[in-house]
Amino acid sequence: MSGDQEQEYFADGMVEEIITALSRIRWLFVIARNSSFTYKGQAVDVKQVGRELGVRYVLEGSVRKAGGRVRITAQLIDATTGAHLWADRFDGSLQDVFELQDQVAVSVAGVIEPALQTAETARSARCPTTDLTADDLYLRAYAMYLSSSRQIPEALRLMEQAIARDPRYGSALAWAAVCCHRLLMDDRSEDREADRLKGADFARRALEVAGDDPAILANAALALAYFGEDIGAMMALVDRALALNPNYARGWLLSGVLRYWAGQSDIAIEHVEASLRLSPRARVGTSLVVIGGAHLRARRFDEAVPKLLLANQQDPSYPGPYRGRAACFAHMGRLDDAREMIRRLRTITPGVILDASFLRNAEHCELLLSGLRLAMGEGTRTCSAI
C-alpha cells in the first residue's frame, strides 16, 4: 500500500519477511510471496482477494522511510466481511535494516496470532471438534478462564461438557487440565486429590491427540508439571512446542512458568519477557506473577513487589500475588504490610499456606513459605513439611 516506487524494494523485502514469519505458525494457511505480489500496484478489494486466493484474512499495510527512520503500519481484515480485526504501527531505525525487518516480522506475527486466536479459538486445534455444541461450550469456557480466576470452576464445568460430547477434543482436554491445575493452585478445589488425578488424566489424553499442535503440547506440559511429572521432561515438551512455532507467545510464557518452578529465575524472566514482546496486548497478570515470583526467589524483594501489585490490580481475585507480596514484605521487615496482604488474601480464600511442592528448588520453596509464616506471626518450617 506504500505507493512509493523508490522504496518498493524495501517494502517487498519487509513483506517477504512477514510472510515467512506467518508461515511458521503451523495452524495458519499462508499464501506465498508469488501469489500475494500479484496484487501489487492495484486497488485491492479485500473480499475479492479472499475469494480468489481462498483465504479468510488479509494482512495489508505500508512502509515509509524518512531521515534514517522507518514506519510500518499493518492491519488485519476479515476477507468475508471486510471488518478490521487488528491494526498497529511499528517504528524503528534504518541503521540495521535487516535486524529491523526481522523485528517487525516477529512482532507482526506474534501480535496477529492472538488476534486470530480470538476470532477462531477452536480452529487452532490440530484435532478440531465436529460437534458445534462442544465447540460453543469450549469457547464459552475459554472466555471465562481468561476473564477472572473466580470463573475457573465454571470454565472447567463447561470444558468437561465439551469433552463429554467429543472425548478427543484436544484443546478442551488441555484447557480442562489447566483449569484443574489452577483450582489447586488458587485453593478453589473441593477435592484436591480428585482434581489432581482428573487434571493429569485430561493432560495425558490431550497429548494423545495433540500431534504437532503447540498450544495443546504446552498447556498439557504446564498441568502435568504442576501435578508432579518430571519438570525437565515437561520443559522439553514446551521447547518442542516453541520449535514448532517460535512466535507462540503463550508458549514462551509457559516456558517461563516451568523455568520458574524449576528454580531458574533469570531464565524464567527472560522467557516471560519474550512472551510479552510477542503479544503486547495480552493480559499480563500471570506474566507479572512469574516475573515477581522470580525476583522474590532471587531475594530481589524491592523488584518483586511492584510486579505482584500490578498482577493483583489486573485480577484482584487471583490469590498468588497476595501470597508473594506478603512473603516479600515479611522478609523486608515490613510486617504491618505483610499482615495486610494476609488479610486481603483471606477475603478471597481461606488457604494462606498451601502445598508448594511445584517449586522444585527446596531453598526457593522455603523462602516463600517462611515469609508467609512470618506474615502470619508463626515460626518457619521447610517445604517438605507441607
The mean predicted confidence, pLDDT, of the chain is 84
DSSP 3-state percent helix, strand, coil across the chain (nearest 5): 65, 10, 25
Domain boundaries 125-246, CATH class:
mainly alpha
Domain boundaries 5-119, CATH class:
alpha beta
Q: Indicate the pTM of the whole model.
A: 0.69
Q: What percent of the chain has pLDDT over 70?
A: 84
- 22-54 pLDDT, tens per residue? 777 666 778 877 678 888 778 888 999 998 888
Which DSSP state fits 59?
E
The residues facing 76 across adjacent strands are 59, 86
Of the candidates 295, 296, 249, 293, the residue with the CA atom closest to the CA atom of residue 273: 249
Residue 262's pLDDT band (boundaries 50, 70, 90)? Answer: very high
Residue 350's CB is within 10 A of a number of other CB atoms, namely: 7
- 339-365 pLDDT, tens per residue? 999 999 999 887 787 778 889 999 999
Which DSSP state fits 40?
T
Q: Which residue has the higher pLDDT, 60 or 26?
A: 60
Tell me whether the CATH fold assigned to 125-246 matches the one assigned to 267-386. yes
Residue 300's pLDDT band (boundaries 50, 70, 90)? Answer: very high
Residue 337, pLDDT > 80, answer yes
Give the CATH fold of the 267-386 domain: 1.25.40
Choose the weakest-confidence range: 119-123, 134-138, 225-229, 374-378: 119-123
- Give the pLDDT of residue 370: 93
Beta strands in 67-167 (DSSP E): 69-78, 84-93
Hey, what amino acid is at 3?
A: G
Which DSSP state fits 191?
S
Average pLDDT in the 280-289 region?
A: 76
- 158-188 pLDDT, tens per residue? 999 999 999 999 999 999 999 999 999 888 8
**What are the extents of the domains in the chain?**
5-119, 125-246, 267-386
CB 168 within 8 A of CB 331: no
